[in-house]
Amino acid sequence: MRLELLAELNAARASRRAAVVVTELPGGAQRLVQNPAGDPLEAEIRAAIRSGRSGVVEADGARWFLTAHVPAPRMVVTGAVHISQALAPMAAAVGFEVTIVDPRTAFATPERFPGVDLRAEWPDVVLPDLALDPFTAFAALTHDPKIDDPALKAALDAGCFYVGALGSRKTHASRRVRLAAAGVSEDALDRVRAPIGLPIGAASPAEIAVSILAEVIAALRRPGERIP
């Protein structure tokens, strides 16, 4: 591997960009792909980025090893609420870097969220710093449109791989109207999972956290499949 290629790869990883190293086997001819469009192995590279899995592919009588480098998944949540208290440690255990945003300082206290990256700020203030991206899951859990709506819009604009919002169908219908008025497209609104979480009959805050986390994992690992 050429040092320049390695340096470029490390720069991509440091800035949370997906990158795939394509290595011809056994010869070792190599290239770094950050934008698969037009690459001879475009479909295979896209699959590697989607799954995060490295592996050998065969094409045109040649064998290639694709090393997939995708950023660690993150979860950003608005609402330092009861569900988030259960969700944060569960998501961390699964490997997500978790950040909770809630400007209400009575909710966003370190005592309620020990060891969690907690931002007692309005989403408009803190989200630019967090740099939401396609490897981030976002969940809106405050029930307060003043907090959730701007964050939902930011998450959809950033192409977060998962965007979910707490609330009944009725609540979500009025949310769609508000977000549409704020300039969010119908296609983007269709990406919002609401009511949030897989339908497992979750009753307690911790059970709802399980249903949300399971839905997030499904969106990460089985993209394109709407579950159920």
Q: Residues in the site for other proteins, rule: CB under 8 A?
A: 1-3, 6-7, 9-10, 13, 23, 25-28, 53-56, 65, 67-68, 72-73, 94-95
Measured between alpha carbons, how far is 59 from 204 in angstroms, rounded to an integer?
51
Between 50 and 82, CB nearer to other proteins: 50
Between 54 and 185, CB nearer to other proteins: 54
Between 61 and 95, CB nearer to other proteins: 95
Q: How far is the CB of 72 from other proteins (least distance, A)?
A: 6
Residue with tokens 């009725």: 170
Between 25 and 59, CB nearer to other proteins: 25
Q: What are phi and psi of 138, to 5 degrees?
A: -125, 135
Between 9 and 179, CB nearer to other proteins: 9
Q: What are phi and psi of 225, to 5 degrees?
A: -100, 125
Written as six digits, the tokens of 39 are 């690459």
Q: How far is the CB of 134 from other proteins (least distance, A)?
A: 16
* Helix 205-221 with 82-94: angle, nearest 10 deg: 40
- Other residues' Cβ atoms within 10 Å of the Cβ of residue 82: 16
Using DSSP, state whether 153 is helix, strand or coil: helix
Read off the amino acid at residue 45.
Answer: I
Q: How far is the CB of 22 from other proteins (least distance, A)?
A: 12
Q: How far is the CB of 67 from other proteins (least distance, A)?
A: 6
Q: How far is the CB of 57 from other proteins (least distance, A)?
A: 11
Number of H helices and E strands in the chain, helices first, is: 8, 10
Measured between alpha carbons, how far is 77 from 9 in angstroms, rounded to an integer?
30
